[in-house]
Structure 1
Amino acid sequence: MDAEVRTDAGDLAEYGYKQELRRSLSAWSVFAIGFATISPVVGIYAVVQLGFMFSGASWIWAVVAAFVGQLLVACVYAELSSQFPVTGGVYQWVRRLAGPRQGWLVGWLYLASAVASLTTVAYLGAAWLYLLFSDAAMSPTAHVLLGVVFVAVALGINLLGVNPVKRFLDAGIIAEGVASIAVSLVLLVFARHNGFGLLFHTLGASTASGGSATAGFLTCLAVAGWAFLGFDATTQVAEETEQPRRSVPRALIRAYLFVAFTVLLTGMAVTLALAHPDQAVSGKIADPVFTAVTSGLGDWAEKPFILVVLVAFFACAISIQTYIGRAVYAFARDRQLPFSPTLATVGPRQIPWVSLVVTAVLAALGLLLGLNGNAAATLISFGSGGFYFIFLYVAVVALVARLTGRWQPSAGELNLGRTGLVVNVLAVLWLMFESVNVAWPRTELAPVGGSWIQVWAVVLVFSALFVIGLGYVVVAKPHTKLAPAAAPAAETMETV
């Protein structure tokens, strides 16, 4: 073990960094972080209701399409993470392949999207926390306050150190298995009310999209993209992982595939177990998953199921908080943010505690959007849109670097050989399509009675963030503040 630690630390030193974080994560622990962040439970609950609304029982095929597209992206990310086993993920990759200025921009947008994802998970999880104690309608204020509880718990566990995080994420995986795989199998075997042919019917859902089944499917696909976000969380803990060139990319792919299997199994089981799936389309059934489980297993399963789902939501929030803190730390360590020395502080537990606290506060402030009715669709749309733009940015940079010879994936322990170029091209094409699809202004995804600002939220917010980031680059020139050791001469070459 000591030899491995020295080798990993020496590998890190080649990138200009010293070992500050505790390198104690095994391949299993990295898998757990990836699994909990993507989270099949969180993913399925975020998309199933909207999926039924826009595509009926055929919503599951939008999830299949999103899975295939995102698998291409995951493969590109796996190659990059094997090449660059450094905390910071997309920021580090783009900085080293396209230059410090572009690295700063993509890192800035990534941080904003990551904070939005924590806000979204806390907002969605708050509804389940409330349901544990009351069946009455929840007020917007109570929703926001319970969301803050989610953020506070995630922060508290992260501040305890890496080992408590590992233990809770292990519990989260068990909860995911019980709530998703086991329950789904029971529903399919003992509580199935419909044949598999139902999965090819919209059940009249096209009326929500002006009578167009295609428009409904595209809307469903935009929402389904949320179910396959977060696999890059594994790359943010590279400096805390043993043998990261091998462990991180493998954990990334395994977590992604396991989550995808679970999401598809759960989605199919729930759809086929509903006695009246048309009521999920009309909105009479507000929560198809909960209805399918309680009607299939009996009322006795209601509270235990809620508890299991809550554990999964908390695990997801904890994992997101973990990787956001590391992303900010990596940014601040390179003196790329205001108050960088403070944000890069590593405490006695060898965790970036200041970054963790700051990102938790920002995520909690984002919950204030929930005071304006149901903000779930808007939050999901922005969170998905932000990440898909970043996916596209990274995939294009990787493709250009391949074609110009600036990146040789063969240097990593995981590479796809010649197939990697084909996968990269297909990933770019998929992301170009899905980025536009997610950002497309749709009144049906805005809160009821929402303003045009909420309809255009993804485009407006992301554009504003890009302009702010670009302005900061021009005025503050953070790319010039990189420590000499962290900015090898080869990185000063800009592609723009």
Structure 2
Amino acid sequence: MRSSRPALKRALTLGEVVMFGLAYVTPLIVLGIFGIVSETTGGATAAAYALALVAMLFTALSYGKMAAVYPIAGSAYTYVRRTIDARAGFLVGWAVLLDYLFLPMVIWLIGGAYLSAQFPDVPSWVWIVAFITVTTMLNVVGIKVAARVNVLLMTFQIAVLAFFVLLSIGYVAGSWGPGALFDVAPFDNRATTLSSVAAGAAIAAYAFLGFDAVTTLAEETIEPERTIPRAILLIVFLGGVIFIVVAYFTQLVHPGGVFEDSSSAAFEIAGIIGTSLFGAVFLAGLVVAQFASGLAAQAGTSRLLYAMGRDRALPRVFGYLHPRCRTPVFGLVITGATGLIALRLNMATSTSFINFGAFTTFAFVNFSVIAFYIRERRAGRSRGVVPYVLAPAVGAVVNLWLLSRLDAHAITLGLIWLGLGVIYLAYLTRMFRLPPPELEFAEERPVIASADNDPRPL
């Protein structure tokens, strides 16, 4: 018998889910970190993004498979819990909180920094608080309202990116002739080595972070078994194409990888290719991008907290839904409150957590596909070795390699966070003598089709 308590409302279409994912990824981030990637690769940013795209596609395929099997909120936490072990699922959920909780904070911090640079008389905390307040209010009202606002913001962001690329093409063609538009230097040049491109790809992978967040919207998506897997692949592929194209033409404008300030290289290049008017438009685009990204990031974070609260892996209040808006209000408020930490932190400190949590999570999602394959084989159901073993194995290895490329500070902080998670898990399970509480779904239990398309309850 179905519970009478409020449940998440199914309202999102494929296009809206893709737009949410792209907003979370934030296409303009390619310009935000362009200088850093360019310096690392010796002026081969396009190659770094191409390598990162290939790596992320393997993981996207694994997310798509798991999202089709478990079309419910919880993302990697749910996948690992159901296929590997409840305790492993909890720790993966704990690790992904690094990404989910701190990414909105970083997004709002970047947006505040852009506006503070343009309006130095206004304290940066005013912008950060404004970002958090407006974003939280929109998300509390409901996912459909947030989705409509997000479509408008994403349209403007893509328009700014397109304008940036067109100005770059015009500048390159006007300065060195049309033939200069066809150059392999952004992919390979004298300063480029395989090691530098690999290091650049580890940084460039940051631009893809968030594509998995749409899995947390599964319970609010129409036909999630089909929509979410398609959306994940489209987000990664479209995002990767955008990153490569923008990086390619931007690198042509500024060959090599040396800038006065690599953290603001995009502003330097914007001044080269455009006028002061374009500089203002570019600033507006960056701010809009951060707002749209924050909107999607906070929505995804609150859904993960909701899934863990509903499971009693976190306090029960996290599993509360507003009876009228049907949104996880407490998770939204907690995410907004976490963003206030940005008032006391700088960019380097606040971003040090993110990649550790993301790469750890990505690796375990790939492991969950392999574990699912093993379970299906034991049950006498056939699954392909290539898509369910070889592809996720490659994805896991790539993500563990990217994890190893992080600086020691990020790894140390990440391990400390995981250690805290182990302590909390020990408390929940009475020193591991009891399993973590089971999920209590608001909807019917998910089903999976066997080889002969016979739906079977999990």
Mapped to 1, the partners of 2:126 and 2:377 lie a distance apart of 49
Paired residues of 2:98 and 2:353 also in contact (CA < 8 A): no
Tell me: CA distance 1:282–1:158, structure 2 relative to 1, closer, same or farther (3 Å).
same
Mapped to 1, the partners of 2:54 and 2:4 lie a distance apart of 36
Structure 2, unmatched stretches of 5+, are 446-458
Q: Does 1:402 align with 2:370?
A: no
Counting helix residues as a fraction of each chain, which structure ranks higher?
1
RMSD between aligned residues: 3.1
2:43 alignment partner, SS class: helix
Q: Which of residues 227, 234, 241 in structure 2 aligns to 1:261? A: 241
Number of equivalenced pairs? 434
Query: Aligned residue for 1:430?
Result: 398
Matches within 5 A, 1:71-470: 71-134=57-120, 142-143=123-124, 146-192=127-173, 193=175, 195=180, 196-199=183-186, 216-274=196-254, 277-278=255-256, 281-283=258-260, 287-338=264-315, 340-341=316-317, 343-370=319-346, 375-376=347-348, 378-405=349-376, 418-438=386-406, 440-441=407-408, 456=409, 458-470=410-422
Paired residues of 1:55 and 1:202 also in contact (CA < 8 A): no
Tell me: CA distance 1:480–1:288, structure 2 relative to 1, closer, same or farther (3 Å).
closer
Offset, 1:296: 1.6
Q: Which moved more, 1:343-352 or 1:105-114?
A: 343-352
Identity %: 21
Paired residues of 1:109 and 1:390 also in contact (CA < 8 A): yes
Mapped to 2, the partners of 1:342 and 1:28 lie a distance apart of 29
Mapped to 2, the partners of 1:333 and 1:300 lie a distance apart of 50
Mapped to 1, the partners of 2:36 and 2:368 lie a distance apart of 33
Tell me: CA distance 1:418–1:282, structure 2 relative to 1, closer, same or farther (3 Å).
closer
Letter in 2 for 1:475: Y
Letter in 2 for 1:27: L
Query: Aligned residue for 1:447?
Result: none
Query: Aligned residue for 1:30?
Result: 17
Structure 1, unmatched stretches of 5+, are 1-9, 207-212, 442-455, 489-496
Q: Which moved more, 1:194-203 or 1:123-132?
A: 194-203
Query: Aligned residue for 1:39?
Result: 26
Cα deviation digits, residues 8-29 of structure 1 (max 9, x gap): xx9xx7xx99770111111111
Paired residues of 1:161 and 1:351 also in contact (CA < 8 A): yes
Paired residues of 1:57 and 1:203 also in contact (CA < 8 A): no
Offset, 1:407: 9.2
Offset, 1:369: 1.9
Offset, 1:144: 5.2
Mapped to 2, the partners of 1:282 and 1:166 lie a distance apart of 37
Tell me: CA distance 1:110–1:407, structure 2 relative to 1, closer, same or farther (3 Å).
farther
Paired residues of 1:97 and 1:407 also in contact (CA < 8 A): no
Tell me: CA distance 1:485–1:386, structure 2 relative to 1, closer, same or farther (3 Å).
closer
Letter in 2 for 1:398: V
Q: Which of residues 420, 425, 433 in structure 2 aligns to 1:473? A: 425
2:258 alignment partner, SS class: helix
Offset, 1:480: 3.9
1:242 alignment partner, SS class: coil
Offset, 1:330: 0.8
Paired residues of 2:259 and 2:265 also in contact (CA < 8 A): no
Letter in 2 for 1:424: P
Tell me: CA distance 1:286–1:94, structure 2 relative to 1, closer, same or farther (3 Å).
closer
Paired residues of 1:119 and 1:367 also in contact (CA < 8 A): no
Paired residues of 2:370 and 2:388 also in contact (CA < 8 A): no
Mapped to 1, the partners of 2:202 and 2:105 lie a distance apart of 19
Offset, 1:117: 1.1
1:482 alignment partner, SS class: coil
Offset, 1:77: 0.4
Offset, 1:165: 0.4
Mapped to 1, the partners of 2:441 and 2:290 lie a distance apart of 40
Cα deviation digits, residues 234-292 of structure 1 (max 9, x gap): 11011111111011111111122111111111111111123xx45x5142576332232
Mapped to 2, the partners of 1:301 and 1:50 lie a distance apart of 23
Offset, 1:111: 1.7
Mapped to 1, the partners of 2:397 and 2:360 lie a distance apart of 12
Letter in 2 for 1:466: L
Cα deviation digits, residues 436-491 of structure 1 (max 9, x gap): 112x33xxxxxxxxxxxxxx2x1222111111111111122284433677999xxx
Offset, 1:64: 1.3
Cα deviation digits, residues 35-89 of structure 1 (max 9, x gap): 11111112x1342121122223113212211111011100110111011100111
Letter in 2 for 1:34: G
Offset, 1:200: 5.0
Mapped to 2, the partners of 1:428 and 1:17 lie a distance apart of 40
Letter in 1 for 2:34: V
Offset, 1:214: 5.7
Q: Does 1:55 align with 2:41?
A: yes
